[in-house]
């Protein structure tokens, strides 16, 4: 499959069950990104051929979500998603209602049991993707009627599973366990990653950290610069002591969290430190040492801050080079 000429949506087609299910051109999803995934980023990803998403639960109320959804619709004609972190927001029902009223084509659910929300979602045309971090959760999502699962391994930025299973093993295990499409997530940031996920039997990838370091993402410049400077072995995992592990960039604040988890693992001391305001301090306001910011080990692959369209073009070209390489190996 030689790479020839200009790679455009007219000349390139990567058809998988996920592109067919979601009506997108490339099997690349932008993950939910707390405080960072608004209409501008979501529309840029969808316009570039992937699936962009707005993160609902970092918005203040359902009407803010409605505005954000309408903004995405103004900026793109293409499918997009809305991500809901189930455990984070009390008014999740009213948020979901807005998404359904606005006929959002795709919803992704994470961070809690999706069962109570499925009956409402299943009454609509909206496709439902559930984030999972274990085979057990993936099977449960399939039984509940999810259209696809997103399997997040330990390398990922933000909240990860408790079981310490990396994306390579998790992806292949979930592929073996369910018959609905599987999106691999955690550690994917380029075209090589896409091809590796496809070769494991996945139908696409989700990227979180890589999309933070783009021009369209509202992350602070200091956060983006920190991603450029962080090798794979420098990220930290906080909140393991309370069973909600999350991968973050190192900082003085994160060091304090880790010390508290080690020495005084009482929730009333830990929870104020990991409060969302302390995420905003770093992620949006750029005071990196005074808060925490999510990042995966894939920060190691981030060397620039491109526009989303350039990133996607490059990723697809890399994927084709990887296909070529495999083709070459097999025909030697
Ligand atoms: C800054 C940041 C914020 C995140 N916030 C959310 C979120 O609000 N909801 C969610 O489902 N996942 C969230 N995640 C996880 C991502 O959607 C995705 O699963 C993860 O980033 C994949 O791993 P990667 O970072 O190696 O690409 C977040 C990840 C990052 C890096």
> What CATH number is attached to the domain comprising 52?
3.20.20.70
pLDDT per residue over 279-300, tens digit each? Answer: 999 999 999 999 999 999 999 9
Specify whether the CB–CB gap between 163 and 196 falls below 8 A. no
What mean pLDDT do residues 153-182 have? 97
Specify whether the CB–CB gap between 68 and 90 falls below 8 A. no
What mean pLDDT do residues 263-273 have? 90
User: Do the domain assignments include residue 12?
Assistant: no
Question: In this structure, what token pair is assigned to residue 268?
Answer: 């009333």
Question: In this structure, what token pair is assigned to residue 97?
Answer: 């209602």
Question: Which of 30, 32, 219 maximizes ligand 1 atoms within 8 Å of its Cβ, making it the mutation to test the pocket?
Answer: 32
Q: Does one domain contain both 40 and 76?
A: yes
Question: In this structure, what token pair is assigned to residue 35?
Answer: 């405080």
Decide if pLDDT at 118 tops 60.
Answer: yes
Alpha carbon distances (Å) from 265 to 124, 271, 272: 43, 10, 13
Q: Does one domain contain both 119 and 188?
A: yes
Distance (Å) from CA 279 to ligand 1 centroid: 13
Question: 91-104: b or e for each residue (b if 16 or more CB lie within 10 Å)?
Answer: ebeebbebbbebeb
Specify whether the CB–CB gap between 68 and 61 falls below 8 A. no
Decide if pLDDT at 307 tops 70.
Answer: yes
Decide if pLDDT at 8 tops 80.
Answer: no
Strands of 236-238's sheet, edge to edge?
158-159, 246-248, 236-238
Q: Does one domain contain both 117 and 247?
A: no
Q: Does one domain contain both 30 and 132?
A: yes
Please work out whether the CB of residue 41 comes within 6 Å of at least one atom of ligand 1: no
Question: In this structure, what token pair is assigned to residue 73?
Answer: 């619709």
Q: Does one domain contain both 32 and 158?
A: yes
Tell me the percentage of the chain whose pLDDT exceeds 90: 89
- Residue minimizing CA distance to atom 10 of ligand 1: 32
User: Do the domain assignments include residue 83?
Assistant: yes
Distance (Å) from CA 235 to ligand 1 centroid: 14
Residue pointed to by tokens 């592109």: 19
Question: 4-20: b or e for each residue (b if 16 or more CB lie within 10 Å)?
Answer: eeebeeeebebebbbbe
What mean pLDDT do residues 151-160 have? 98
- Residue minimizing CA distance to atom 21 of ligand 1: 208
- Residue minimizing CA distance to atom 1 of ligand 1: 294
pLDDT grade for 12, boundaries at 50, 70 and 90? confident
Q: Does one domain contain both 23 and 122?
A: yes
- Residue 57's pLDDT is 84
User: Do the domain assignments include residue 145?
Assistant: yes
- What domain range includes position 24? 17-215+305-326
Q: Does one domain contain both 318 and 283?
A: no
**Beta strands 204-207; 28-30: pairing state:** parallel
pLDDT grade for 4, boundaries at 50, 70 and 90? very low
Backbone angles phi, psi at 131, to 5 degrees: -80, 130
- Residue 6's pLDDT is 60
Full-model pTM: 0.96
User: Do the domain assignments include residue 276?
Assistant: yes
User: Do the domain assignments include residue 151?
Assistant: yes
User: Do the domain assignments include residue 44?
Assistant: yes
Distance (Å) from CA 278 to ligand 1 centroid: 17
- Residue 322's pLDDT is 94
How far apart are the C-alpha atoms of 25 and 19, rounded to whole Å? Answer: 6
Alpha carbon distances (Å) from 330 to 195, 323, 327: 15, 11, 5
How high does pLDDT run on average in the chain? Answer: 94
How far apart are the C-alpha atoms of 324 and 315, rounded to whole Å? Answer: 14
Backbone angles phi, psi at 21, to 5 degrees: -65, -45
What mean pLDDT do residues 208-226 have? 98
Q: At 178, is the secondary structure helix, strand, or coil? A: coil
- What are 107's strand-pairing partners? 82, 128
What mean pLDDT do residues 48-53 have? 98
In order, the DSSP letters of 15-39 are: --HHHHHHT-SSSEEEPP-TTT--H
Q: Does one domain contain both 322 and 241?
A: no
What mean pLDDT do residues 219-236 have? 97
How far apart are the C-alpha atoms of 110 and 98, rounded to whole Å? Answer: 18
Q: Does one domain contain both 116 and 254?
A: no
User: Do the domain assignments include residue 10?
Assistant: no
User: Do the domain assignments include residue 96?
Assistant: yes
Q: At 42, is the secondary structure helix, strand, or coil? A: helix
Q: Does one domain contain both 73 and 57?
A: yes
* CA count, 13 A, side-chain hemisphere, 289: 1
Q: Does one domain contain both 192 and 81?
A: yes
Number of domains in the chain: 2
């Amino acid at each position: 499959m030689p790479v020839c000429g200009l790679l455009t949506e007219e000349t390139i087609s990567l058809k998988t069950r996920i592109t067919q299910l979601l009506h997108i051109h490339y099997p690349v999803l932008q993950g939910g990104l707390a405080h960072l995934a608004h209409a501008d980023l979501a529309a840029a990803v969808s316009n570039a051929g992937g699936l962009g998403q707005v993160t609902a639960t970092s918005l203040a109320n359902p009407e803010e979500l409605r505005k954000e959804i309408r903004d995405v619709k103004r900026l793109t004609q293409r499918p997009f998603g809305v991500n809901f972190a189930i455990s984070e927001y009390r008014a999740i029902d009213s948020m979901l209602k807005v998404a359904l009223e606005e006929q959002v084509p795709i919803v992704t659910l994470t961070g809690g049991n999706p069962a109570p929300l499925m009956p409402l979602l299943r009454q609509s045309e909206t496709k439902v993707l559930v984030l999972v971090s274990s085979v057990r959760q993936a099977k449960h999502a399939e039984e509940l009627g999810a259209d696809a699962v997103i399997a997040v391994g330990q390398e990922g930025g933000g909240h990860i599973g408790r079981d310490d299973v990396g994306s390579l093993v998790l992806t292949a295990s979930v592929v073996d366990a369910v018959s609905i499409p599987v999106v691999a997530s955690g550690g994917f940031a380029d075209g090589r990653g896409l091809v590796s996920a496809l070769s494991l039997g996945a139908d696409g990838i989700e990227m979180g950290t890589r999309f933070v370091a783009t021009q369209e993402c509202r992350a602070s410049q200091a956060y983006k610069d920190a991603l450029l400077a962080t090798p794979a072995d420098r990220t930290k995992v906080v909140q393991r002591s309370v069973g909600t592990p999350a991968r973050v960039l190192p900082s003085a604040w994160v060091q304090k969290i880790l010390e508290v988890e080690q020495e005084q693992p009482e929730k009333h001391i830990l929870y104020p430190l990991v409060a969302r305001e302390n995420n905003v301090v770093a992620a949006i306001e750029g005071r990196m040492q005074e808060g925490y910011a999510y990042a995966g080990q894939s920060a190691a692959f981030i060397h620039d801050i491109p526009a989303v369209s350039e990133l996607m073009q490059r990723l697809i070209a890399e994927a084709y080079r990887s296909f070529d390489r495999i083709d070459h190996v097999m025909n030697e």
